A and B are shown apart, each in its own frame.
Chain A
């Protein structure tokens, strides 16, 4: 039995996503299962931990460029409302809160949200965590956010257009979306899917369906169709010497900033 089938088999124990939700039930179940391991830096999510400094530096630069944040401030996002979609255990969410934003974390997996709440409480961070669907939150709180982040999420989503449209609804006009996602190349198939999931175990098995990955130009088209203007799109590459770094090759993973028009 493959890991993927097992993950799907566990799904009935989980609350089923609402009709019209964008999250894939099999993926949600898998992420629930990993809840306890979210904050183990040498555990299954070590790649997400390793990527975090690079992508948060990108968020900071984008917020300075497009939201007028102070480049010298210790808490550059102070005064802003931020939403981290697909927040998992809260690795990026906590960073947004520390950067000063009034922060909400949203994930369809209840287990991950429970782990995130525990961790934020221990760290003394006030973060609103919600278990649920991005489409529901968009219906309830349209235009409520200055900044939305979605790191390594769009590749797990069943309906990309509905997902991006919901993110656009959640942002105020002029608000900023920062996202990252793996590219659909042979290199990313080899590394993200095969090597990292199966050989080194750096990513939990069954976490990705490579066919769902979007190429940067496809991502640009879909963002434009959902009401975004892409301001910056860069590779999120890795090297043994410097770890994860923004810039350079986009063939594995890429990170982008888009403004809600």
Chain B
């Protein structure tokens, strides 16, 4: 029998959160094996995934500490301002990084980056990091979590061994299911249509979140195209019924529909990525741990994308887990010790639940049709705009800087 490959931690799932976690652990001298089903090169191909993510500023600090600053500066677009409004109604709530913090100290509210670019940069870093071994494409055949270690046998017969397994295998996590961890879930009667648009007028690094009766319509500033055209990512929430129809619209008809909802503010529009629709749901695991196993990212929780917090929650999971395991390692604690898993769960559960609750409330509040509710919403937005502490709190939640932060989210390598 061939000898098993060994590492401190076995990460199941090499997506954005799994790879970030591997880099964060390596920065603390903790070795990982990352098992990913898909071929990483195929994931980088043009057109594989037109999605983009808003990296909140706390997440951005972590990515910089892990050596991904070039990606954020070279390919990211900072969000200098967020404007929230009820449709095209002029009553607007503004979050402005400069107005709020002063020119010199201004840290963007977030950075927009293509998922594909983020994946490519992570993969590059992972390949340069000797403490991370990426095993891909490969599938876990059996996973045995014993009292002394975790042992995995891959479908091709290879053996892996570690002190702790981390499930980073997404919302349909098989690892979670096999551990018997149940999840609470519901779906929203809505879907998100995601696309990318080129436009004639510059976006001025402004993120627009416009609320329409069917749900929020978000336009997020992206870095200009190589040919100099301006570009924005679109996340348009429509009713599930309408989703198929909207995503089947031809590029011109689609751009026209978008333009109608923007009131022409970005000039002539061109659809540059085919619209793809994603059903919207919410799920939260009843617990984040089992013997020698913890859950991170979408395996643990998935929320409404209304505030762009899903990936950021996963990145925060990675930062906290790295901090907890690093502290354990430096004091000689077995990384599979339940006390460490409990500490991680306690630390993350509160933040994930709060953010999930806030986004769910927001999604429901802004999803209710009818004029009286519209007026109430406008009143609410106006109120937040006029109360600086409320505004600061919202901004801190958006930045991911609310609550008890591990060193990585402050940009430090503990």
When the two chains form their complex, are residues A94 and B332 in contact, meaning their CB atoms are under 8 A apart? yes
When the two chains form their complex, are residues A74 and B334 in contact, meaning their CB atoms are under 8 A apart? no
Provide the A86-116 mask, 1 if CB < 8 A to any CB of B, else 0.
Answer: 0000000011111100000000000000000
Q: In the complex the two chains form, what is the Cα distance from A178 to B401 in whole Å?
A: 39
The closest CB in chain B to the CB of A71 belongs to: B330
A7 shortest CB reach to chain B, Å: 28
Chain B positions within 8 Å of A50 at CB level: 339
Tell me whether A214 is interfacial, beta carbon within 8 Å.
no
Q: How many residues of A contact B (CB 8 A)?
A: 25
When the two chains form their complex, are residues A96 and B330 in contact, meaning their CB atoms are under 8 A apart? no
Tell me whether B333 is interfacial, beta carbon within 8 Å.
yes
Chain B positions within 8 Å of A98 at CB level: 329, 332-334
Chain A positions within 8 Å of B328 at CB level: 53
Tell me whether B83 is interfacial, beta carbon within 8 Å.
no
Tell me whether B28 is interfacial, beta carbon within 8 Å.
yes
| CB contacts between A and B, total, < 8 Å | 51
Q: In the complex the two chains form, what is the Cα distance from A60 to B332 in whole Å?
A: 9
Chain A positions within 8 Å of B172 at CB level: none
When the two chains form their complex, are residues A52 and B149 in contact, meaning their CB atoms are under 8 A apart? no
Q: Which DSSP category, helix, strand, loop or mixed, fits chain A's interface?
A: helix
Q: In the complex the two chains form, what is the Cα distance from A147 to B329 in whole Å?
A: 19
The closest CB in chain A to the CB of B326 belongs to: A74
Tell me whether A216 is interfacial, beta carbon within 8 Å.
no
Q: Contacts A74-B28, A74-B29, A74-B30 known; A123 to B332 CB distance under 8 Å?
A: no
Provide the B329-360 mask, 1 if CB < 8 A to any CB of A, else 0.
Answer: 11111100011000000000000000000000
Tell me whether A14 is interfacial, beta carbon within 8 Å.
no
Provide the A18-34 mask, 1 if CB < 8 A to any CB of B, else 0.
Answer: 00000000000000000
Chain B positions within 8 Å of A73 at CB level: 29, 330
When the two chains form their complex, are residues A53 and B329 in contact, meaning their CB atoms are under 8 A apart? no
Q: In the complex the two chains form, what is the Cα distance from A99 to B334 in whole Å?
A: 10
Tell me whether A122 is interfacial, beta carbon within 8 Å.
yes
Q: In the complex the two chains form, what is the Cα distance from A9 to B401 in whole Å?
A: 62
Provide the B125-166 mask, 1 if CB < 8 A to any CB of A, else 0.
Answer: 000000000000000000000011100000000000000000
Chain B positions within 8 Å of A59 at CB level: 331
B148 shortest CB reach to chain A, Å: 4
B327 shortest CB reach to chain A, Å: 8
Q: A74-B329, A124-B148, A243-B339 are in contact. List 7 more A-B contacts (CB 8 A).
A: A50-B339, A53-B331, A53-B333, A57-B327, A73-B29, A74-B28, A99-B330
A positions within 8 Å CB-CB of B: 39, 41, 49-50, 52-53, 56-57, 59-60, 73-74, 76-77, 94-99, 119, 122-124, 243
Closest 7 A/B residue pairs (Cβ): A95-B332, A74-B29, A98-B332, A99-B332, A122-B148, A56-B331, A57-B331
The 25 sampled A-B contact pairs (Cβ below 8 Å) are A41-B338, A53-B328, A53-B339, A56-B332, A56-B333, A57-B331, A73-B29, A73-B330, A74-B28, A74-B29, A74-B30, A74-B326, A76-B330, A77-B332, A94-B334, A95-B332, A95-B333, A98-B332, A98-B333, A119-B148, A122-B148, A123-B148, A123-B149, A123-B334, A124-B149
B positions within 8 Å CB-CB of A: 28-30, 147-149, 326-334, 338-339
